[in-house]
Chain A
Amino acid sequence: DQQVKQNSPSLSVQEGRISILNCDYTNSMFDYFLWYKKYPAEGPTFLISISSIKDKNEDGRFTVFLNKSAKHLSLHIVPSQPGDSAVYFCAATKTNDYKLSFGAGTTVTVRA
């Protein structure tokens, strides 16, 4: 059973505009959420995370929003840059568990 879902397999955005990536989860026990970025032939790298006690976390151009009642989170990238072109994975876990459940990923293409 897929507990973390990213329903948009791909996203194309113009350089300088906002990229919005969405993620839904079904397991109400999840209380920690992470976003990873993956380039071809490389492993995923940590981007940003959020605990369920918060509804927003910001790090430079990246902001993650969490809506616990809807079991939904989103990643905003502003402004989008060509180097942001990659696959983005949403992941969820329970605190002190450390086993990550991943979504299928969203491929972001930033157009010049």
Chain B
Amino acid sequence: EAGVAQSPRYKIIEKRQSVAFWCNPISGHATLYWYQQILGQGPKLLIQFQNNGVVDDSQLPKDRFSAERLKGVDSTLKIQPAKLEDSAVYLCASSALGGYYGYTFGSGTRLTVV
């Protein structure tokens, strides 16, 4: 079974620029999550999708962050404009309905804002 695919692996941008991250979940997984992991901290949930609908985006800074999951499969997370404090690893995860064991993370995208 293929894992959760994320791209790019690394990205360096200047503050006030925009950036987008892509995630392709495990086939058949209905739920998709984006987490932000700042250095020295645990991952923090930004947004949760069920199929192509948003379940929870309460911790997403909506003035600069946006995410979509078209057709209930892959997803894109965008930051515009980026701030220095957005430097982090952005992790995508997916899970099947009703289970934790299939809750699988991708390798993440490391963003550095300079």
Give A contacts to B, CB under 8 Å: 4, 6, 32, 34, 36, 41-46, 49, 89, 91, 93, 96, 98-105
- Give CA–CA (A50, B102) in the complex, Å: 15
**Alpha-carbon separation in the docked complex, A105 to B38 (Å):** 12
8 Å CB contact of A99 from B45, B101, B104: B45
A64 to B: closest C-beta gap in Å: 13
| B interface residues, Cβ below 8 angstroms from A | 4, 31, 33, 40-45, 48, 56, 91, 93, 95, 98, 100-101, 103-108
Contact A46 B103 (CB under 8 A): yes
Pairwise interchain contact A98-B107, C-beta atoms closer than 8 A: no
Question: CB-nearest residue of chain B relative to A102?
Answer: B42
Whether B40 pairs with A104 at a CB distance below 8 angstroms is yes
Q: Contact between A44 and B95 (Cβ–Cβ < 8 Å)?
A: no
